[in-house]
Amino acid sequence: MITRRLASSLAFLVLSLAFAPASGLRAADGLAAAPTLKPPTTPESVPGPDGFIRRWLILEPIPTTGLTDSAVQAAVRKEYFPNQLTVIPKDGDKVTVGGAELLWHAVDTTEYNLNLFHFARALGKPTSNVLLWGVTVVNCPEEVKDARLAIGSNAASVWWVNGAEVIGIYGDRQTVIDDGVSKRLTLRKGANLVRCAVVNGGGAMDFCARVLDSHDQPLKGLSVRLTDAVGN
């Protein structure tokens, strides 16, 4: 016979299991609430026929304000953590910004774009007046000349390739494919580091990026590998 105390304990256990966070990119993350994001399950990924890069390391949001050219440039040039424009993080690495501990998360997106609003909300992080850093490593089988980095973002964003700033788009905007396109650049044979900083005022927040060839078509033969590349 089940006592009242035991019945209450069993009921509490059932409720606890029912409302426990689903496993996401890591059990403690709660990122299962971001339906288009998933943990990388292979060492390497390749862009689809459309060329969009779908594997990134994303840092949890940093508070900031302003979407004008000057406000965004000031935000991305402010030093929040050491080596922020050169570091190649690993999944689970931590940095401290303003006394808060922030984590880097390796994510694959099932769409052409990476939904940063879902990313932040799933982690219980703010989605308004924030800056998020993203890093990926694009591998080329051979040197590629006259390539372009083509991007779109909601809202403003600034982008670097191999340490050089190559494109920035500003203001309160929606993500549009190839909204910003860099000047011609040369990709190295092997690993090429792509870094972005996305600044959002409020509402939806996402970005997309792909590499175009000399004919402004998606560059073929690329791969993305977040570990064991560029010294990792």
Domains and CATH numbers, the chain: 34-224 (2.60.120)
Residue 102's Cβ-side half-sphere holds a number of Cα atoms within 13 Å equal to 23
**pLDDT by position in tens, the chain (length 232):** 444 444 444 333 333 333 333 333 453 456 777 899 999 999 999 998 899 999 999 999 999 999 999 999 999 999 999 999 999 999 999 999 999 999 999 999 999 999 999 999 999 999 999 999 999 999 999 999 999 999 999 999 999 999 999 999 999 999 999 999 999 999 999 999 999 999 999 999 999 999 999 999 999 999 999 864 444 4
Quick: pLDDT tens for 98-120. Answer: 999 999 999 999 999 999 999 99
Q: Is 97 left (phi over 0), alpha (psi -120 to 50) or beta?
A: beta
Quick: pLDDT tens for 163-205. Answer: 999 999 999 999 999 999 999 999 999 999 999 999 999 999 9
Give the DSSP H or E segment for 8: helix 4-18
């175009």: which residue's tokens? 212
One-letter amino acid of 175: T
Q: What is the pTM of this model?
A: 0.86
129: Cα separation from own chain's centroid: 17
